[in-house]
Amino acid sequence: MKIVNVETVRADIIRLLKATGLREDLAGDMTHIMIESDLMGHRTHGLAMLPTYLDRLGKDLIRKDGDITVVRETASTLNWQAHRLPGAYVVRRAICALYEKITSEPVITASIANCSHIGSLQAYLEEPARRGYLCLMMVTDPGVASVAPFGGRDPVLTSNPIAAAIPTHGDPILIDQCTSLVSNAQVQSADRSKPLPGRWVVDNAGRPTDDPNALTADPPGTIMPLGGEDFGYKGFGFGIMVEAFALALSGHGRLIPKQRGAQGVFLQLIDPAAFSGRDAFLAETTDFVRRCKASRPAEGAKGIRLPGERAMSEKRRQLHGGLEMPDELLERLAALASSHGVEAFADVRLSA
């Protein structure tokens, strides 16, 4: 690992993305979410995604310019067609639009069709929670199918993540989890010569297995729904929710021609002030955190850690001491920058 200066890396990434022809404001939002993901410790969805994004930009699978189309809008809702614009840009614009609406409506909902990959959901959640809003997100890609219905063997849906932000008087609770037992990335990055830690996948005959190669067989296997062999129907149920909220509601579902990399997004803000009142709400959520922390640790456990706690700790640590980047990734990004005629990532290190 190298310890790098966050703002120097940020500037280099924006310059590299602009060199592909990407508009500057789009490049800024993509960079912000990638860095935010790395700061929170979500490295598979941080700067490690940049080579993939550059490849998609080169193939025009991520749109470099253009406008979002407002399909429908009311005082409390919006439905956008994003035309494969960068997901980070689209979702950050949607959040800003919801902030404007929530001053007059207590529950605001956005439904977005056809934006490119948005990255880590948790990277979007801290800001609305710090403003005092409950936030709910569901996202998926109709061009990917890697999870079979519980009891089946053919893929119908994918990891279908759900995320939520819950404000407290301290750090917010930030929930971000897929509705499959593990994510696509966790299985794809596994050592193919070793068994998985558990029977996380189902082979093409419908049998649970710990063999990561089952997913690349012909025909391929699938990933277990959350809950595994015994309770996977629960994860399957949550996965169906994401299909309805993120795809069917946005008008960007699996009936469209299959093309990976374009997502449907459900995003909702709720202002507690219009319900129990902000003070009463925060008193409850803060006391819930207190009671969790007061719970006696199970034998062998290190204590209670709430969703988002590790992410907040990692972010504070790296903002203070510098962003950690693997040597291999830093070298790869420098080579990619050079191939685009950009001198970058040479003077970003704080220390070896």
pLDDT in tens, 125-172: 999 999 999 999 999 999 999 999 999 999 999 999 999 999 999 999
Residue 49 pLDDT greater than 90, yes or no: yes
Q: Is the peptide bond before 106 cis (omega within 30 degrees of 0)?
A: no
pLDDT, one tens digit per residue, over 171-211 is 999 999 999 998 887 887 788 889 999 999 999 999 999 99
Tell me if residue 297 falls in helix, strand or coil. Answer: coil
pLDDT, one tens digit per residue, over 223-271 is 999 999 999 999 999 999 999 999 999 999 999 877 778 999 999 999 9
Is residue 29 located within the same domain as residue 100? no
CATH number, residue 147: 3.30.1370.60
Q: Residue 262: beta bridge partners?
A: 116
Structural domains of the chain, count: 3
Instruction: Choose the final residue of a domain: 159, 193, 223.
Output: 223
Write down the pTM of the prediction: 0.94
Confidence of residue 340 (pLDDT cuts 50, 70, 90): very high
Question: How far apart are the C-alpha atoms of 285 and 168, rounded to whole Å?
Answer: 5
Is residue 155 located within the same domain as residue 249? yes
For the segment 45-70, the average pLDDT, to the nearest whole number, is 96
Is residue 61 located within the same domain as residue 79? no
Question: How far apart are the C-alpha atoms of 20 and 13, rounded to whole Å?
Answer: 11
Q: What is the mean pLDDT of the chain?
A: 94
The CA-based dihedral angle spanning residues 33, 241, 116, 314, taken in that order and rounded to the nearest 10 degrees: 20
Is residue 349 located within the same domain as residue 244? no
In this structure, which amino acid lies at residue 18? K
Is residue 146 located within the same domain as residue 157? yes
Contacts with 278 (C-beta within 8 Å, 6 or more apart), sequence order: 132, 271, 272
Is residue 205 located within the same domain as residue 335? no
More confident residue, 187 or 111: 111
- Please state, for a pLDDT cut of 90, what percent of the chain lies above it: 88
Give phi and psi for 3, each to the nearest 5: -95, 120
For the segment 285-301, the average pLDDT, to the nearest whole number, is 94
Q: Which long-range contacts (CB under 8 A, 24 or more apart) does 293-296 make?
A: none
Residue 351 pLDDT greater than 60, yes or no: no
Residue 102 pLDDT greater than 90, yes or no: yes
* Residue-number span of the structural domain to which 216 is assigned: 182-223
Looking at residue 186, its pLDDT comes to 80
Question: How far apart are the C-alpha atoms of 323 and 138, rounded to whole Å?
Answer: 28
CATH number, residue 53: 1.10.1530.10
Beta-strand pair 77-81/107-116: parallel
